[in-house]
Amino acid sequence: MASGQVEPEDLVHVLSPKHRPEDELRAVCNSTGQEDAFYLCDVDDIVRKMALWRRLLPRVRPHYAVKCNSSRVVLNTLAALGAGFDCASKGEIEEVLSLGVDPGRIIFAQPTKPAGHIRYAAGRGLDLATFDNEEELYKIRALHPKCRLVLRIRSDAENAKFCLGVKFGCDAVREAPRLLRTARDLGLQVVGVSFHVGSGCREEEAYSRAIRTARHVFDVAAGLGIQSMKLLDIGGGYPGERDDEPVILKMADAINTSLAAHFPSADVDVISEPGLYFVASAFTLAANVHSKREVRNDFGDLEGVMYYINDGVYGSFFDTLLQRHFVGRPLQDPGDAPLVRSSVWGPTCDGVDKLEEDVLLPLLELGSWMVYRSMGAYTIALCGTFNGVPVPKVHAVASAETWLLLKERAPFTDAHFTPSLASGRRHTSASLVEPPRRLGLSLQAPTQAGDAM
């Protein structure tokens, strides 16, 4: 995007060294006229996650799963850091290509694609896609015969929040040989195997099992005379909340060990499709208490308070309907204020629009703010506008270090960066030229994620 054409939503607010993202959150909440719910996105957190990924899993090139959170600042940041992208639809492909990302950095990771989306991918030079069924092979032969195909197999974690295997992935023993044979006989090129163990996985062994099964499928393909197998895609599922790093360390260990055992040759490229890992902890939601209702017994004693905030299950909290629990806290530190039994409700007229039940909160004034952390994954992406409730806007912040790291990497330009509200106007002067040491990333341009494919 040319300098001067940056939309307000695409701006990144640069903090001075003495300010933190929390200061910016308060500054936005306290700014004149601010009533709508909004997200604070900490860009440093995404940069840190990429540095951690590259340190722990140097062989595995991440392709960010766009569906998880397609906010422009997330896509810009990951594109600037050299990530690849997992797109599941024409719309997601369009969005990523609009950033100037090369189609070679994208995998169309949706085993059941509408014909128009396949045609679009073919027309834009995107030639890597997953499949798990025969019909898809016939569709692809008709619409995009040069597409390189990745066979998605099913291998479910025993402990994951959301199982995807119920919908996608063929059986590696019963179905994979037949599908490989059909692809070969249709003259299609199968280049690899993918899996997704389930979103929010807590079981590192799930990756070891799946990698072992993928090895089996590679061997079956070799037995069928298929020489083109060069890609292993270990999917998503990695948790991404603030305290999840120990789980990630164990997963990385398990993955590295399994790759060394089953795919020791560098001839096989390894990619992944993390979604929530990159974004969960980077986003904090602030929602405004616009109404409340006191619940009293027959004697007039206060039994509880119902608070109504301006984001709910038809917005960022959709996953409440899937038994995910969200825990908020008031922005204002309650100190020693007495706590009262409370419930927190969303803004629509629907009775299921309830976010928290039977929680202890201090008495909150109308206009005060509730804050929800680790809200980056499958929240804003699932927001609707039922009852005319707007989708919360994203207010992005970065440290000066991150600003220096990103400001000259496409798709960012200088025009994307502006002083933060908390820090005032002066600190983004050219005098700030310290190299970005703390985040552990070099300024060297990363290798293109699509290079080796």
State the minimum distance, in angstroms, from the CB of residue 114 to ligand PLP: 16
Residue 29 three-state SS: helix
Query: Residue 70 or residue 288: which is nearer to ligand PLP going by CB?
Result: 70
Angle between helices 90-97 and 115-123 (to 10 degrees): 20
Which contiguous run of DSSP H or E holds residue 341? strand 339-345
- For 208-314, strand residue ranges (E) read 231-233, 269-272, 283-296, 302-309
Query: Residue 86 or residue 127: which is nearer to ligand PLP going by CB?
Result: 86
**What is the Cα–Cα distance from 185 to 251, expressed in whole angstroms?**
38
DSSP H helix total and E strand total for the chain: 11, 20
**What is the Cα–Cα distance from 381 to 237, expressed in whole angstroms?**
17
Query: Residue 127 or residue 401: which is nearer to ligand PLP going by CB?
Result: 127
State the minimum distance, in angstroms, from the CB of residue 316 to ligand PLP: 16
Residue 443 three-state SS: coil
Residues across the chain: 453
State the minimum distance, in angstroms, from the CB of residue 96 to ligand PLP: 14
Residue with structure tokens 């890992």? 277
Which amino acid, 285? Answer: L
Query: Residue 110 or residue 368: which is nearer to ligand PLP going by CB?
Result: 110
Q: Which residues bind ligand PLP (CB under 6 A)?
A: 65, 67-68, 86, 109, 164, 196, 199, 235-238, 273-277
Give the residue among 96, 56, 72, 443 at the shortest CA–CA distance from 277: 56
Query: Residue 36 or residue 175: which is nearer to ligand PLP going by CB?
Result: 175
Q: What is the DSSP string of 384-436?
A: --GGGPPPPEEEEEE-HHHHHHHTTSTT--GGGEEE-TTT-SSTTSTT-----
Query: Residue 207 or residue 403: which is nearer to ligand PLP going by CB?
Result: 207
Catalytically active residues are 349
State the minimum distance, in angstroms, from the CB of residue 201 to ligand PLP: 7
State the minimum distance, in angstroms, from the CB of residue 112 to ligand PLP: 11
Percentage helix, strand, coil, to 5, in the chain?
30, 25, 45
State the minimum distance, in angstroms, from the CB of residue 267 to ligand PLP: 24
